[in-house]
Amino acid sequence: MENVSKHTQSTKVENGTAAGGKDAPAGASLPPAAGGREILNFSPPDPEVSANKARRKFTAKYKIRILEEADASTEPGQIGALLRREGLYSSHLNTWRRQRENGLLKAMAPKKRGCRRKEKNPLADEVARLENENRQLKERLRKAETIIEVQKKISDLLTIDQDLSPSGGNS
């Protein structure tokens, strides 16, 4: 118990103030707490663990640098030290080496997760333009047919001969 009280009395606050908050000389010590116990003024760390850890993404440049360091290591234990220092697994090296063999920078680039976007058809713009032109031509044709029908009705009302044959009307 005496060790605890000596420790309590000799404890100093970093900024030169005593536990009571009043300014004291740099050599001043804390007064002993009641019963020889020190009052602890801290909160314990939060024991809550996040549900999902953020997924790590490695750049192609980083992967190449690590592979070069691993390939350059000659002594036993150097690769293990490299992996511990970087927080990696040996499976990372295996995967990255395989990727490097398949194609250096393209295979080493981080892959996007999720659904892939459909590539745009290169003829889609041309098809849209032609469909629009087709719609316009159909509309012009409908108007022209309407005009022809009106002209036929007017000629019927005025009893004008509508012989459209090239011979001039004598059949």
Mean pLDDT, residues 71-87 taken together: 91
Q: How far apart are CA 168 and CA 171, in angstroms?
A: 9
Find the distance separating the first CA and the last CA of the chain, reported in whole Å.
137
Residue pLDDT, tens place only, 109-142? 667 777 878 888 888 899 999 999 999 999 999 9
Is 139 contained in some domain? yes
Name the domain count of the chain: 2
Rounded to 5°, the CA angle 42-48-50 comes to 135
Is 77 contained in some domain? yes
Residue 32 has pLDDT above 70, yes or no: no
Q: How far apart are CA 150 and CA 3, in angstroms?
A: 118
For residue 22, the SS3 value is coil
Residue 70 and residue 101 in one domain: yes
Is 69 contained in some domain? yes
Residue 171 has pLDDT above 50, yes or no: no
Please answer whether residues 18 and 30 qualify as being in contact, where contact means their C-beta atoms are separated by less than 8 angstroms. Answer: yes
Residue 72 and residue 102 in one domain: yes
Is 135 contained in some domain? yes
Residue 95 has pLDDT above 60, yes or no: yes
Most confident of 57-61, 86-90, 161-165: 86-90
Residue 98 and residue 138 in one domain: no
Mean pLDDT, residues 20-30 taken together: 48
Is 152 contained in some domain? yes
Residue 101 and residue 66 in one domain: yes
| Banded model confidence at residue 159, pLDDT cuts 50, 70, 90 | confident
Residue 140 and residue 103 in one domain: no
Put simply, whether the predicted model's pTM sits higher than 0.85 gets the answer no
pLDDT score recorded for residue 21: 44
Q: Tell me which residue range forms the domain holding 152.
A: 129-163
Q: How far apart are CA 40 and CA 11, in angstroms?
A: 12
DSSP conformational letter for 140: H
Is 116 contained in some domain? no
Is 146 contained in some domain? yes
Better-predicted residue by pLDDT, 54 or 150? 150
Neighbour count for residue 78 (Cβ, 10 Å): 13
Give CA separation, 28 vs 22, 25, 136, in Å.
11, 5, 95
Q: How far apart are CA 43 and CA 37, in angstroms?
A: 17
Is 74 contained in some domain? yes
